[in-house]
Amino acid sequence: MVEDRTYLLARVFSSSRLSESKWLYMHPSEEQDSSESNLRNGKRAFDDDDDKLRQSKSLKLTRLSIHGNASDQQQHGDGDSLINDIGRDNSISCLLRCSRSDYSSIASLNRSFRSLVKSGDIYRLRRQNMIVEHWVYFSCQLLEWVAFDPVERRWMNLPTMPSGVTFMCADKESLAVGTDLLVLGKDDDSSHVVYRYSLLTNSWSPGERMNSPRCLFGSASLGEIAIFAGGCDSLGKISDVAEMYNSELQTWTTLPKMNKPRKMCSGVFMDGKFYVIGGVGGGEEYDLATKKWTEIPEMSPPRSRETPASAEAPLLVAVVNNQLYAADHAGMEVRKYDKESKRWFTLGRLPERAGSVNGWGLAFRACGERLIVIGGPRSSGGGFIELNSWVPSNDRSPPVWTLLDRKHSSNFVYNCAVMGC
């Protein structure tokens, strides 16, 4: 979430809560495209040569003396100052505090603004200044993804994923890291592949494969890095391998092996360390400083019914403010982990409509200072999913869920990830 939003440019870049079909395209193009693809999925590409748009922006920005063309920049002597009256550093300080949804308008002003947004520099600076907004990305249709801004409660459709038939129909796993959304699965020849969605380009491309490709792993991200631990290789062998992904470099680095092989496990970052939970008894902690794994017995949350672990989804766990929470889909309860006693206790109930099949189809994620639950009833004629939110306190108060929005869908939530940038 954005801390201490001063929004010095709020009136300039302000927008009311827009419908999905009217939300401006977040990723401006360098070239004009008059085809219908400019408006597909409710997105619009921006163009420097669009006189009406430039004139409109110019009128709005007169008071701030933002100069959007080369002659103006030469006249004022500093083409990189962005907002010339206050200088480049102060300009960037203002822009960092604008909402991510405003960056489409910002990038359309001139080349300096566009470069700042499309290069990813603005997101790196936001991360360095502890200014982060968390958006939820999830899929309820094959190859189709949507993004949801829980603060403004706005939607955006992502481009359709490219894939082969096998990848489209097979199980997939996902994780957001930096400004990337990774979707991992198997392609037509049954080998493990990675597809990468970039927020900066609003496009999908083949991603770098793991050093040891596998599925059913535990994973979590922290800024521009993510750790993937355990899983099952193409021969069905349970793995004790862990790897770190760097979204800035798009590289995989093999880490020391875990103490135990694990599959269908879950991962979280807490207190600057990575934890893999489940798969087999308890969990393990990986210290990024010492590069060592330490087993933690009894870290797996208890289950409310005796169902074979192989029939259930991986553990539904999330960390908010360095506190670990779990969703018990069978008992419809929320639990919290006490790090001192190393025990779990029940806080209260999940949202009533958070339905699932043995945990499949239910998303339970940390989203900044919130816990997000996505699920809902389905029927043969259609149905809907609900997005519910709760901001936990430091005590043992029961959850009070707020309905953020609902969306028509006849399917479960196949995949879900939260991107913070």
* Residues 256-284: tens digit of each pLDDT: 999 999 999 999 999 999 999 998 878 99
Stretch 42-58: mean pLDDT: 39
Give the whole-number percent of the chain exceeding pLDDT 70.
76
pLDDT at 1 over 80: no
Q: Where are the domains of the chain?
A: 20-128, 134-420
From the CB of residue 345, how many other CB atoms can be counted at a distance below 10 Å? 10
Lowest mean pLDDT across 107-116, 154-163, 194-203, 236-245: 107-116
What pLDDT shows up at residue 382?
A: 62
The confidence score (pLDDT) of residue 64 equals 34
Q: Of the given ranges (12-21, 318-327, 332-341), which has the lowest mean pLDDT?
A: 12-21
Position 186 pLDDT exceeds 70: yes
Mean pLDDT over 372-395 rounds to 82
pLDDT digits (tens, 9 = 90+) for 106-165: 888 888 888 888 889 999 999 989 999 999 999 998 899 999 999 889 999 999 998 878
Q: CA-to-CA distance for 412 and 359, rounded, in angstroms?
A: 11
Give the pLDDT band (50/70/90) at residue 305: low
Q: Is the pLDDT of residue 378 over 80?
A: no
pLDDT given at position 173 = 94
Residue 32's pLDDT band (boundaries 50, 70, 90)?
A: very low
pLDDT at 45 over 70: no
pTM of the predicted model over 0.75? yes
Residues 6+ apart with CB under 8 A from 333: 304, 327, 346, 347, 348, 349, 350
Is 66 a residue whose pLDDT tops 70?
A: no
Superfamily holding 134-420: Kelch-type beta propeller (2.120.10.80)
Measured N-to-C along each axis, helices 88-96 and 121-128 cross at an angle, to the nearest 10 degrees, of 80
- What is the C-alpha separation between 250 and 58, in angstroms, rounded? 38
Q: Cα(218)–Cα(268) distance, rounded to whole angstroms?
A: 8
Q: Of 24-33, 54-63, 194-203, where does mean pLDDT reach its minimum?
A: 54-63
